[in-house]
A and B are shown apart, each in its own frame.
Chain A
Protein backbone atom coordinates (compact mmCIF):
# COMPACT_ATOMS: atom_id res chain seq x y z
CA UNK A 1 0.00 0.00 0.00
CA UNK A 2 2.62 2.52 1.00
CA UNK A 3 4.97 1.28 -1.69
CA UNK A 4 2.45 2.31 -4.35
CA UNK A 5 2.04 5.70 -2.69
CA UNK A 6 5.81 6.16 -2.57
CA UNK A 7 6.01 5.38 -6.27
CA UNK A 8 3.29 7.94 -7.09
CA UNK A 9 4.99 10.61 -4.98
CA UNK A 10 8.34 9.90 -6.67
CA UNK A 11 6.76 10.25 -10.11
CA UNK A 12 5.28 13.59 -9.02
CA UNK A 13 8.71 14.69 -7.84
CA UNK A 14 10.16 13.88 -11.25
CA UNK A 15 7.51 15.91 -13.03
CA UNK A 16 8.04 18.85 -10.69
CA UNK A 17 11.77 18.72 -11.32
CA UNK A 18 11.07 18.80 -15.04
CA UNK A 19 9.21 22.05 -14.61
CA UNK A 20 11.97 23.41 -12.39
CA UNK A 21 14.49 22.75 -15.17
CA UNK A 22 12.26 23.87 -18.03
CA UNK A 23 10.53 26.90 -16.61
CA UNK A 24 11.26 29.93 -18.75
CA UNK A 25 10.92 32.41 -15.91
CA UNK A 26 12.28 32.41 -12.39
CA UNK A 27 8.79 32.32 -10.90
CA UNK A 28 8.11 29.00 -12.59
CA UNK A 29 11.19 27.63 -10.91
CA UNK A 30 10.31 29.03 -7.50
CA UNK A 31 6.84 27.53 -7.81
CA UNK A 32 8.28 24.15 -8.83
CA UNK A 33 10.76 24.11 -5.95
CA UNK A 34 8.04 25.06 -3.46
CA UNK A 35 5.87 22.23 -4.76
CA UNK A 36 8.86 19.90 -4.60
CA UNK A 37 9.26 20.78 -0.93
CA UNK A 38 5.61 19.98 -0.20
CA UNK A 39 6.02 16.67 -2.00
CA UNK A 40 9.12 15.97 0.09
CA UNK A 41 7.06 16.47 3.24
CA UNK A 42 4.63 13.81 2.08
CA UNK A 43 7.41 11.51 0.98
CA UNK A 44 9.04 11.66 4.41
CA UNK A 45 5.69 10.89 6.06
CA UNK A 46 5.00 7.95 3.74
CA UNK A 47 8.51 6.57 4.22
CA UNK A 48 7.94 6.77 7.95
CA UNK A 49 4.94 4.54 7.53
CA UNK A 50 6.79 2.23 5.19
CA UNK A 51 9.67 1.66 7.59
CA UNK A 52 7.53 1.68 10.72
CA UNK A 53 9.30 4.68 12.25
CA UNK A 54 6.90 7.23 13.73
CA UNK A 55 9.72 9.74 14.34
CA UNK A 56 9.62 10.80 10.70
CA UNK A 57 6.46 12.80 11.32
CA UNK A 58 8.49 15.34 13.28
CA UNK A 59 10.94 15.69 10.40
CA UNK A 60 8.07 16.15 7.95
CA UNK A 61 6.42 18.84 10.09
CA UNK A 62 9.71 20.68 10.45
CA UNK A 63 10.41 20.57 6.74
CA UNK A 64 6.97 21.95 5.91
CA UNK A 65 7.83 25.06 7.92
CA UNK A 66 11.36 25.34 6.53
CA UNK A 67 10.07 25.07 2.96
CA UNK A 68 7.68 27.95 3.54
CA UNK A 69 10.33 30.19 5.05
CA UNK A 70 12.73 29.29 2.26
CA UNK A 71 10.25 30.24 -0.45
CA UNK A 72 9.57 33.60 1.17
CA UNK A 73 13.31 34.21 1.61
CA UNK A 74 14.00 33.49 -2.07
CA UNK A 75 11.20 35.83 -3.13
CA UNK A 76 12.47 38.57 -0.85
CA UNK A 77 15.96 38.13 -2.19
CA UNK A 78 14.80 38.41 -5.78
CA UNK A 79 12.85 41.55 -5.07
CA UNK A 80 15.25 43.51 -2.93
CA UNK A 81 18.63 41.93 -3.70
CA UNK A 82 19.32 41.46 0.01
CA UNK A 83 17.87 39.53 2.91
CA UNK A 84 18.56 42.09 5.60
CA UNK A 85 16.53 45.15 6.55
CA UNK A 86 15.58 45.75 2.94
CA UNK A 87 13.62 48.86 2.22
CA UNK A 88 11.00 49.05 -0.43
CA UNK A 89 12.58 51.10 -3.24
CA UNK A 90 9.13 52.38 -4.29
CA UNK A 91 8.20 53.54 -0.83
CA UNK A 92 9.10 57.21 -0.98
CA UNK A 93 8.38 57.66 -4.64
CA UNK A 94 6.08 60.56 -5.46
CA UNK A 95 2.64 59.46 -6.69
CA UNK A 96 2.32 60.06 -10.40
Chain B
Protein backbone atom coordinates (compact mmCIF):
# COMPACT_ATOMS: atom_id res chain seq x y z
CA UNK B 1 0.00 0.00 0.00
CA UNK B 2 2.84 2.30 0.83
CA UNK B 3 4.54 1.71 -2.51
CA UNK B 4 1.29 2.32 -4.38
CA UNK B 5 0.90 5.70 -2.70
CA UNK B 6 4.54 6.46 -3.39
CA UNK B 7 4.13 5.50 -7.04
CA UNK B 8 1.03 7.64 -7.50
CA UNK B 9 2.66 10.62 -5.83
CA UNK B 10 5.77 10.18 -7.99
CA UNK B 11 3.61 10.21 -11.11
CA UNK B 12 1.64 13.22 -9.89
CA UNK B 13 4.79 15.18 -9.06
CA UNK B 14 6.44 14.41 -12.39
CA UNK B 15 3.29 15.22 -14.35
CA UNK B 16 2.77 18.41 -12.37
CA UNK B 17 6.32 19.50 -13.02
CA UNK B 18 5.92 18.70 -16.70
CA UNK B 19 2.73 20.77 -17.08
CA UNK B 20 4.31 23.58 -15.12
CA UNK B 21 7.25 23.51 -17.51
CA UNK B 22 4.91 23.49 -20.52
CA UNK B 23 3.17 26.60 -19.21
CA UNK B 24 6.48 28.37 -18.68
CA UNK B 25 7.70 27.50 -22.19
CA UNK B 26 4.40 28.86 -23.53
CA UNK B 27 4.95 32.04 -21.54
CA UNK B 28 8.30 32.58 -23.24
CA UNK B 29 7.34 31.59 -26.78
CA UNK B 30 3.83 32.92 -27.34
CA UNK B 31 3.48 36.00 -29.57
CA UNK B 32 0.98 38.12 -27.64
CA UNK B 33 0.04 39.17 -24.10
CA UNK B 34 -3.28 37.38 -24.21
CA UNK B 35 -1.88 34.15 -25.58
CA UNK B 36 0.78 34.23 -22.87
CA UNK B 37 -1.94 34.61 -20.27
CA UNK B 38 -3.62 31.55 -21.73
CA UNK B 39 -0.39 29.56 -21.48
CA UNK B 40 0.16 30.56 -17.86
CA UNK B 41 -3.35 29.40 -16.96
CA UNK B 42 -2.34 25.86 -17.89
CA UNK B 43 0.51 25.84 -15.43
CA UNK B 44 -1.46 27.60 -12.73
CA UNK B 45 -4.34 25.13 -12.75
CA UNK B 46 -3.11 21.76 -13.91
CA UNK B 47 0.51 22.05 -12.79
CA UNK B 48 -0.37 23.39 -9.37
CA UNK B 49 -3.15 20.86 -8.85
CA UNK B 50 -1.00 17.87 -9.71
CA UNK B 51 1.94 19.07 -7.62
CA UNK B 52 -0.28 19.65 -4.60
CA UNK B 53 -1.90 16.24 -5.12
CA UNK B 54 1.53 14.62 -5.13
CA UNK B 55 2.56 16.43 -1.97
CA UNK B 56 -0.73 15.68 -0.20
CA UNK B 57 -0.36 11.97 -0.96
CA UNK B 58 3.08 12.06 0.61
CA UNK B 59 1.84 13.83 3.72
CA UNK B 60 -1.05 11.50 4.44
CA UNK B 61 -4.01 12.51 6.59
CA UNK B 62 -2.42 15.21 8.69
CA UNK B 63 -2.81 18.96 9.16
CA UNK B 64 -0.31 19.50 6.33
CA UNK B 65 -2.76 18.03 3.83
CA UNK B 66 -5.50 20.36 5.04
CA UNK B 67 -3.20 23.35 4.56
CA UNK B 68 -2.22 22.14 1.11
CA UNK B 69 -5.86 21.84 0.11
CA UNK B 70 -6.50 25.34 1.40
CA UNK B 71 -3.56 26.62 -0.68
CA UNK B 72 -5.03 24.90 -3.73
CA UNK B 73 -8.47 26.43 -3.16
CA UNK B 74 -7.01 29.90 -2.64
CA UNK B 75 -5.00 29.63 -5.86
CA UNK B 76 -8.03 28.38 -7.77
CA UNK B 77 -10.07 31.40 -6.67
CA UNK B 78 -7.28 33.94 -6.99
CA UNK B 79 -5.71 33.08 -10.37
CA UNK B 80 -8.82 33.71 -12.53
CA UNK B 81 -9.49 37.01 -10.76
CA UNK B 82 -5.98 38.30 -11.40
CA UNK B 83 -6.05 37.00 -15.00
CA UNK B 84 -9.32 38.79 -15.60
CA UNK B 85 -8.04 42.01 -14.05
CA UNK B 86 -4.86 41.86 -16.10
CA UNK B 87 -6.70 41.14 -19.36
CA UNK B 88 -9.18 43.92 -18.69
CA UNK B 89 -6.40 46.38 -17.93
CA UNK B 90 -4.53 45.38 -21.10
CA UNK B 91 -7.68 45.81 -23.21
CA UNK B 92 -8.42 49.14 -21.60
CA UNK B 93 -4.92 50.27 -22.40
CA UNK B 94 -5.52 49.56 -26.07
CA UNK B 95 -3.69 46.28 -26.58
CA UNK B 96 -5.68 44.23 -29.04
CA UNK B 97 -5.43 40.47 -29.32
CA UNK B 98 -3.68 39.23 -32.42
CA UNK B 99 -6.78 37.81 -34.07
CA UNK B 100 -9.37 40.45 -33.12
CA UNK B 101 -10.04 43.95 -34.36
CA UNK B 102 -11.09 46.97 -32.30
CA UNK B 103 -14.72 45.91 -32.05
CA UNK B 104 -13.79 42.53 -30.64
CA UNK B 105 -14.70 40.64 -33.79
CA UNK B 106 -12.57 37.82 -35.12
CA UNK B 107 -10.41 38.91 -38.01
CA UNK B 108 -9.91 36.40 -40.80
CA UNK B 109 -6.20 35.86 -40.69
CA UNK B 110 -3.90 33.61 -42.56
CA UNK B 111 -1.14 32.35 -40.32
CA UNK B 112 1.25 33.76 -42.92
CA UNK B 113 0.19 37.23 -41.77
CA UNK B 114 1.42 36.60 -38.27
CA UNK B 115 4.44 34.45 -39.12
CA UNK B 116 5.65 35.58 -42.53
CA UNK B 117 8.61 33.26 -42.45
CA UNK B 118 6.18 30.36 -42.93
CA UNK B 119 5.15 31.65 -46.35
CA UNK B 120 7.60 29.75 -48.55
CA UNK B 121 7.09 26.56 -46.56
CA UNK B 122 3.31 26.73 -46.80
CA UNK B 123 3.41 27.04 -50.56
CA UNK B 124 5.05 23.62 -50.91
CA UNK B 125 2.77 20.59 -51.08
CA UNK B 126 3.15 17.86 -48.50
CA UNK B 127 5.03 14.70 -49.33
CA UNK B 128 1.80 12.69 -49.01
CA UNK B 129 -0.03 14.82 -51.57
CA UNK B 130 -0.10 14.32 -55.31
CA UNK B 131 0.43 17.23 -57.68
CA UNK B 132 -1.72 16.65 -60.73
CA UNK B 133 -1.56 19.47 -63.18
CA UNK B 134 0.63 22.49 -63.38
CA UNK B 135 -0.70 25.39 -65.40
CA UNK B 136 0.33 28.96 -65.85
CA UNK B 137 -1.70 31.33 -63.70
CA UNK B 138 -2.67 34.89 -64.57
CA UNK B 139 0.26 36.56 -62.94
CA UNK B 140 2.71 34.03 -64.32
CA UNK B 141 2.86 31.95 -61.16
CA UNK B 142 2.30 28.26 -61.56
CA UNK B 143 -0.94 26.90 -60.20
CA UNK B 144 -1.02 23.22 -59.39
CA UNK B 145 -3.88 20.97 -58.50
CA UNK B 146 -2.87 19.22 -55.30
CA UNK B 147 -4.84 16.29 -53.97
CA UNK B 148 -4.49 14.20 -50.86
CA UNK B 149 -6.69 11.63 -49.11
CA UNK B 150 -10.16 13.17 -49.12
CA UNK B 151 -9.37 16.66 -50.38
CA UNK B 152 -7.97 18.62 -53.26
CA UNK B 153 -7.20 22.27 -53.72
CA UNK B 154 -5.33 24.63 -55.98
CA UNK B 155 -1.87 25.55 -54.84
CA UNK B 156 -0.39 28.75 -56.20
CA UNK B 157 3.19 29.68 -56.20
CA UNK B 158 6.32 27.61 -56.29
CA UNK B 159 4.92 24.10 -56.64
CA UNK B 160 7.52 21.49 -57.54
CA UNK B 161 6.72 19.39 -60.59
CA UNK B 162 6.74 15.69 -59.90
CA UNK B 163 7.59 13.01 -62.41
CA UNK B 164 5.16 10.34 -63.67
CA UNK B 165 6.72 7.59 -61.56
CA UNK B 166 6.34 9.42 -58.30
CA UNK B 167 3.16 8.27 -56.61
CA UNK B 168 3.54 10.47 -53.59
CA UNK B 169 3.98 9.42 -50.00
CA UNK B 170 7.65 8.68 -50.43
CA UNK B 171 10.15 9.51 -47.75
CA UNK B 172 11.92 12.80 -47.99
Contacts and interface: CB of A to CB of B under 8 A. Distances in A.
Given A5-B17, A46-B51, A57 B78 contact: no
Contact of A60 (B71, B79, B89): B71
A30 B92 CA distance: 15
Interface residues of B, number: 47
B67 A71 contact: no
B155 interface: no
A9 to B, nearest CB: 7
B29 to A, nearest CB: 9
Contact of A5 (B13, B43, B71): B13
Contacts of B9: 1
A30 B85 CA distance: 11
Interface residues of A, number: 42
Contact of B21 (A8, A45, A49, A75): A8
Contacts of B64: 54, 57
A25 interface: yes
Contacts of B68: 45, 57
B24 A58 contact: no
Interface string B45-59: 000100110110011
A75 B13 contact: no
B36 A31 contact: yes
Nearest to B82: A71
Contacts of A57: 64, 67-68, 71
16 contacts: A1-B13, A5-B13, A8-B18, A12-B23, A15-B27, A15-B28, A31-B27, A34-B82, A35-B24, A45-B52, A45-B55, A45-B68, A61-B67, A61-B70, A61-B71, A78-B89
Given A35-B43, A49-B55, 7 more contacts: A1-B13, A4-B14, A12-B21, A15-B25, A22-B28, A38-B79, A71-B85
